[in-house]
Amino acid sequence: GEALKARTRIGVATYASAKGFEQVKGSLLNTTVKGTGFSYDTFGELVVNSGFRNEGNVHVRPLITLAIEDDFGEIIRDEEGKEQLVLAQGGPVFPYQERTFEGLKFKVKLQPGRRYLARCVAQFGEFFEKTKRINQSFAFSVNRNGEIVMEPD
């Protein structure tokens, strides 16, 4: 018979940029939420879709978070007690490219008949000492059937 040989290779990504020529720019793509089964006393499943467009000439690793507050200004926490839902953390987005983050699921308590404000924040560019922060806000509500309804801009 034949012998099988296995070799292990370890690699490291190395990035180079010419200091002073870095353009650190980006934008959030349209963030949306959906979900059903929300009631007064139980955690329902919130499904989030978001994305990031790198408009600069260097790759970035955005941290994208989502915070939700109700119509009384109270911050909504997930079932682990976190106020910030992490949508992306550390994955590269290459120059002039888009990366989407779809179907991210979180357990939260949202009440039917209430309106909510979601704030999505992307932070990136720290590696180049050019930290950028961009924000996107949108409103949604939960109807009497426990379903999320996105509100128009």
Q: What is the pLDDT of residue 148?
A: 96
Which range has highest mean pLDDT (12-21, 38-47, 56-65)?
A: 56-65
pLDDT at residue 12 tops 90:
no
Under the phi-then-psi rule, with left for phi > 0, alpha for psi from -120 to 50, and beta for the rest, what region is 57? alpha
What's the rounded Cα separation, in Å, for the pair 21 and 102? 32
SS3 call for 128: helix
DSSP code, position 127:
G
Contact assessment for residue 81 and residue 109, using Cβ atoms and an 8 Å cutoff: no
Tokens coding 135: 């924000």
Alpha-carbon distances, residue 82 vs 67, 75, 78, 85, 86 (angstroms): 9, 10, 5, 7, 9
Q: What is the pLDDT of residues 90-131, one digit of tens each?
A: 899 999 999 999 999 999 999 999 999 999 999 999 988 899
Tokens coding 150: 């996105």
**Which amino acid, one-letter code, is at 81?**
G
Beta strand pairing call for 114-124 and 98-108: unpaired
Q: What is the pLDDT of residues 54-76, one digit of tens each?
A: 999 999 999 999 999 999 999 99
For residue 58, which of 106, 91, 23, 101 has the smallest C-alpha distance? 23
